[in-house]
Amino acid sequence: MSRKLLVDIHTHLYLPRYAQLLRARSQIPRITTLNGEERLVILAGEASTGRPVGPSYWDRNEKLRFMDTHGIDVSIVSPANPWLDFLPPAPAAQACEELNSDLEEYCATSPQLEGTRFKRLYGMAYLPVVPGAEVDAVCRSVESLGKLPHIKGVILGTQGLGQGLDDPVLLPMWETLARAGLVVFLHPHYGMPPSVWGAQENGHVLPLALGFPFETTTAVARLILTGLLDKLPTLKLLLAHSGGALPVLSSRLASCIAHDPVASSRPQHDARYYLGRMWYDAVAYGPEELAFVASTVGRAGRYAGNGKEPETRGTERLLWGTDHPFFPPLKGEAMWMSVTENLDAVKNAPGWSEVEKEGVRGGNAVDLFGL
């Protein structure tokens, strides 16, 4: 295929059925109406006014229009946070099945990308991973995705069954996901306790800019510590927001593990090694940040400990994204800065070849998701 694709692997939706679920609620998370305008209230501690929400979240034509405006060929859409996290196990399982079927339909009936074998839309599914759920039910849900051909992965928050993702009870879920070959898109929602943001009103800046990435960082560090990546070498973990603070903290993490009497005997490798075992969205908004992430991913082989694993460029594990429909322009401009900045970041990443940039823009996604 000679055509160079732009593939968005970090783009969200609320399916109409999910939006209805949020409208019916009186507590966070919810969609409420203020002065005739719908508002989304999903973050702990945020004002009841939340943020504007509209068709860009649920109307497929809006998604396609946004893609056309920004030259995006293919999107791998994932449900937006907080997924099913707030539901008890039985309603979560039922909603999960219905919503995943809606998502398959949303993608399967999307247009073909002209002159190619690709659809414009593929999906990452919900999982019924909620407090109190049985892991067997989660495994059955993963297995059922095999019947949905346009579903190429799952999106997963960090709460697990209430004890986080390093809960040993979740091992069968990870095994089932690895066996199914599905990409697991690890995405934050909870951030940090609202008290750390202080008393000044700063909108959503601190929870989104800092809390989200730090939540991902913590979740992945815990997975590394628990040895999950040693047990499941074929698991495909894709980290939101370029892995948060993990790339810049990975040597510190490795050092703290090496000096810790409790943790030093696990995991099997130096913590830096595992950075080369995961994938990262390129949603970092800056060229130097992207180049830095790639450099920490590429050096991972140095820490294999057996001298046998090569260092790489790291760019082969970065995949471009937008985080649409979040971060719309404040003044309604047609071109979204949140998109153009992430495109410019790839274009201007210091030291990257054109071939590497093409990979990050689309080729790596085609390979990872098996499109």
Site residues (CB under 6 A) for ligand URA? 12, 42, 80-81, 208, 323, 326
- Work out how close the CB of 104 gets to ligand URA at its nearest, in angstroms, rounded to a whole number: 22
DSSP state, residue 55: G
Q: Which residues contact 234 (CB under 8 A, 6 or more apart)?
A: 178, 181
Phi then psi for residue 235, to 5 deg, are: -65, 135
**Residues 12 and 240 sit within 8 Å (Cβ to Cβ):** no
Closest residue to Zn ion: CB criterion = 323
Task: Pick between residue 81 and residue 226 the one whose CB is nearest to ligand URA.
Answer: 81
**What does the CA dihedral 26, 27, 31, 36 come to, rounded to 10 degrees?**
50
Q: In the window 75-94, what residues touch Zn ion (CB under 5 A)?
A: none
Which residue do the tokens 């980290």 mark?
239
- Work out how close the CB of 154 gets to ligand URA at its nearest, in angstroms, rounded to a whole number: 16
209 binds, among ligand URA, Zn ion, none (CB under 5 to 8 A by kind): none
Closest residue to ligand URA: CB criterion = 326
**C-alpha to C-alpha distance for 229 and 243, rounded to whole angstroms:** 15
- Work out how close the CB of 189 gets to ligand URA at its nearest, in angstroms, rounded to a whole number: 7
- Work out how close the CB of 7 gets to ligand URA at its nearest, in angstroms, rounded to a whole number: 18
- Work out how close the CB of 126 gets to ligand URA at its nearest, in angstroms, rounded to a whole number: 15
**C-alpha to C-alpha distance for 103 and 75, rounded to whole angstroms:** 13
Q: In the window 289-328, what residues touch Zn ion (CB under 5 A)?
A: 323
208 binds, among Zn ion, ligand URA, none (CB under 5 to 8 A by kind): ligand URA
**C-alpha to C-alpha distance for 207 and 290, rounded to whole angstroms:** 21
Task: Pick between residue 208 and residue 256 the one whose CB is nearest to ligand URA.
Answer: 208
**C-alpha to C-alpha distance for 143 and 180, rounded to whole angstroms:** 7
DSSP state, residue 305: S
Task: Pick between residue 166 and residue 323 the one whose CB is nearest to ligand URA.
Answer: 323
**C-alpha to C-alpha distance for 151 and 363, rounded to whole angstroms:** 18
Radius of gyration for the chain, computed over Cα atoms and rounded to the nearest angstrom: 20
Residue 8 interacting with Zn ion (CB under 5 A): no
- Work out how close the CB of 75 gets to ligand URA at its nearest, in angstroms, rounded to a whole number: 14
Sign of CA dihedral 233, 234, 237, 238: positive
Count interface residues toward Zn ion (CB under 5 A). Answer: 1
Task: Pick between residue 227 and residue 286 the one whose CB is nearest to Zn ion.
Answer: 286
281 binds, among Zn ion, ligand URA, none (CB under 5 to 8 A by kind): none
- Work out how close the CB of 347 gets to ligand URA at its nearest, in angstroms, rounded to a whole number: 23
Binding site residues, Zn ion, CB under 5 A: 323
